[in-house]
Chains A and B, each alone.
Chain A
């Protein structure tokens, strides 16, 4: 695998049903529409909630794309990712995917998945970079 010396693969103990069910709970930013101008410390606390920025949601997507054994094919992983991908999250995931893109092998769907993010404007950094590789005949996702 090209340039994969520092890569490590993951699989989640959670079932894909649990992860997707958790994703489905996300209806928007934490406490949408709630703000207390007369309680600035509360508003600060609210801003700091991880759900507010979609960070946890990104992490759940990461769980999906790092080779969960219940999602055996790259196509099915791609379908789940695309199904739950929203524009704001694409922005958040874009920046770290740039170096990951350099590590990609020649899997056409893998290129498609990453390329569709690279044409988006740069957003906040995602905590882990995700790359797609192919080991033997088995496509997998890995983090760097």
Chain B
């Protein structure tokens, strides 16, 4: 497994940092990039980071857009927005499921929990 492309910090305010030298997500600002993300994008990103398996689009749509006329459409737009902001490499989207590329994204909560194993 290669080096991750990014580090995601969720224990505290969300931060997303590109690892220097990695090519993905060139548009990221340095430092506290996560704070620049929209509120729902941050929430969705953190949720995908917490779930270590593909999540059904319907489940995500129900969770994040319960009162929207077209929840799946809203999710599609949200994922597109996220992909535009964080780069396409970290998000793995299939026809009916979505997941964060955990090999490409180090998450602080994972390290925290592994310390308890």
Contacts and interface: CB of A to CB of B under 8 A. Distances in A.
Interface stretch (B23-31, B64-72, B85-93): B64-72
Interface string B28-43: 0000000000011011
B115 A31 contact: no
A78 B104 CA distance: 38
Given A27-B13, A34-B39, A36-B43, A45 B112 contact: no
Nearest to B12: A27
Nearest to B46: A31
A63 B47 contact: no
Contact of A31 (B10, B62, B65): B10
Interface in A14-65: 14, 18-19, 21-22, 25-34, 36, 38-42, 45-46, 49, 51, 56, 59-60, 63
A31 B14 contact: yes
Interface string B104-117: 00001101111111
Interface residues of B, number: 28
Interface residues of A, number: 29
A42 B64 CA distance: 7
A49 B50 contact: yes
A25 B63 contact: no
Contact of B11 (A19, A39, A51): A51
A41 B63 contact: yes
Contact of B13 (A18, A32, A36, A49): A32
A27 B11 contact: yes
Contacts of A49: 50
A38 B4 CA distance: 33
B66 A25 contact: no
Contacts of A51: 10-11, 109, 112
Nearest to B50: A49
Nearest to B9: A27
A70 to B, nearest CB: 14
A36 to B, nearest CB: 6
Interface of B: 9-14, 39-40, 42-43, 46-47, 50, 62-67, 108-109, 111-117
8 contacts: A22-B112, A22-B114, A28-B13, A31-B10, A34-B46, A36-B39, A41-B62, A51-B10
